[in-house]
Amino acid sequence: MARIIPARGAVEEAAERLSRGELVAIPTETVYGLAADATNGEAVARIFEAKNRPRFNPLIAHVADRAMAERIARFDALSSLLADRFWPGPLTLVLPLKAGSRISSLVTAGLDTIAVRMPVGVARDIAARLDRPLAAPSANPSGKLSATTAAAVEAGLGDRISLIVDGGAARIGVESTIVRVADGQLTLLRPGGVPAEDIEAATGKPVRRSETGAAVEAPGMLASHYAPAARLRLEIASVRPGEALLAFGPHRANGVEKAMATRNLSAGGDLREAAANLFAHLHELDASGAATIAVEPVPGDGLGAAINDRLARAAAPREPVVAGNGAS
């Protein structure tokens, strides 16, 4: 059972727990979010564990103010205009990730873009007190409906989190609208609390919509997903010359001395630590210039399922990007 505390007076305790790497369920004007410190990879890994998410979708970073947003994302004139007009509120902007931001690569799923929004109310106050962005997907078990009350959060996740901040029923009750802003173009990745027509009226620009609806179900799952340039060879027993090695646990595969570069997801075999390191380590090994990254076996239980899902996608033959399918 999670403890449920009223939003009034919750800011300090929520921020304190978040700063220790705990998860806290928080109200927003759209739906309740399951929040972690977005700069703490292991805390973000706990989100996927608690939701039982089988995949590492990128998460939205919730910010307290524009200064915090500009520390993690690059704004141009168009995205600045949208933030001026719709923040705080139910609009999420997918923008270029700012170099040197301390956001965990698990939040962006290794992409070079980041989804940012400034929520209304206590969620914003908690981010301000923590002085860091909050990574927060909807506070429901994977595959279930989003929670719009503290009681619904408790029913779905109460046995997996210790604190729920109760802000009453979510005012809007559907998720935020997600819009990608790139090269002066607007693309709707998910319809939500702000109608696309309002965005068009505010900017005088068309909002490209998905034709198939594929991007509506799972933006960020398709063409936008980070894929290393190197090929991946999974469940290896021995390293071949010229390969880079992605290791896991205390015992090494044969032939590690042949590896061009090595990173260990978790020397102690901790899946939470491995999840937190996954994208950063893939990027680093990719940058070593090796044509192939050899990957030691990772167990499939708990967060291992999502880690193996990600590795299998990175290892699969590349799908051509279909023009006009709306996938981002």
Residue numbers at the binding site for Mg ion (CB under 5 A) = 138
Q: Which stretch binds ligand TXA (CB under 6 A): 27-35, 229-237, 258-266, 296-304?
A: 27-35
CA distance 55 to 183: 29
Q: Which stretch binds ligand TXA (CB under 6 A): 26-34, 150-158, 226-234, 249-257?
A: 26-34
Q: Which stretch binds ligand TXA (CB under 6 A): 112-120, 226-234, 258-266, 306-314?
A: 112-120
- Residue 133, binding choice from ligand TXA, Mg ion, none, Cβ under 5 to 8 Å by partner class: none
- Decide if 37 contacts 45 (C-beta within 8 A): no
Type and span of the H or E element at 217:
helix 214-217
Contacts of 14 (CB under 8 A, 6+ apart): 24, 26, 35, 126, 129, 163, 165
| Strand partners of residue 26 | 33
**Binding string to ligand TXA for residues 40 to 59, with x set by CB under 6 A, is what?**
-----------------xxx
- Decide if 205 contacts 186 (C-beta within 8 A): yes
**Binding string to ligand TXA for residues 218 to 257, with x set by CB under 6 A, is what?**
xxx---x---------------------------------
Size, binding site for ligand TXA by CB under 6 A: 28
Looking at the Cβ atoms of 207 and 294, the one nearer to ligand TXA is: 207
Q: Give yes or no for residue 7 binding ligand TXA (CB under 6 A).
A: no
CA distance 225 to 241: 29
* Residue choice 114, 134, 298, 307 for contact with ligand TXA (CB under 6 A): 114
Tell me how far CA of residue 253 lies from CA of 94, 265, 290, 303, in angstroms: 39, 14, 18, 22
- Please tell me what DSSP assigns to residue 24: E
Looking at the Cβ atoms of 11 and 170, the one nearer to ligand TXA is: 170
Looking at the Cβ atoms of 170 and 293, the one nearer to ligand TXA is: 170
Strand-strand pairing, 207-208 and 185-190: parallel
* Residue choice 104, 105, 149, 176 for contact with ligand TXA (CB under 6 A): 176
Q: How far is the CB of 139 from ligand TXA (least distance, A)?
A: 7
Q: How far is the CB of 283 from ligand TXA (least distance, A)?
A: 15
Q: How far is the CB of 129 from ligand TXA (least distance, A)?
A: 18
Looking at the Cβ atoms of 27 and 158, the one nearer to ligand TXA is: 27
Q: Which stretch binds ligand TXA (CB under 6 A): 5-13, 66-74, 108-116, 279-287?
A: 108-116
CA-nearest of 31, 25, 34, 30 to 5 is: 25
Burial of 223 (0-12, 13-18, 19+ CB in 10 A): middle
Q: Give yes or no for residue 326 binding ligand TXA (CB under 6 A).
A: no
CA-nearest of 260, 262, 246, 251 to 296 is: 246
Q: What token pair was written down for 215?
A: 């991007």
Contacts of 256 (CB under 8 A, 6+ apart): 239, 245, 247, 262
Q: What token pair was written down for 312?
A: 């299998």
**Phi/psi at 249 (5° precision):** 85, -175
Looking at the Cβ atoms of 23 and 31, the one nearer to ligand TXA is: 31
Which parts of this chain interact with ligand TXA (CB under 6 A)? 28, 30-31, 33, 57-60, 90, 92, 94, 108, 111, 113-115, 136-138, 175-176, 178, 189, 218-220, 224, 328
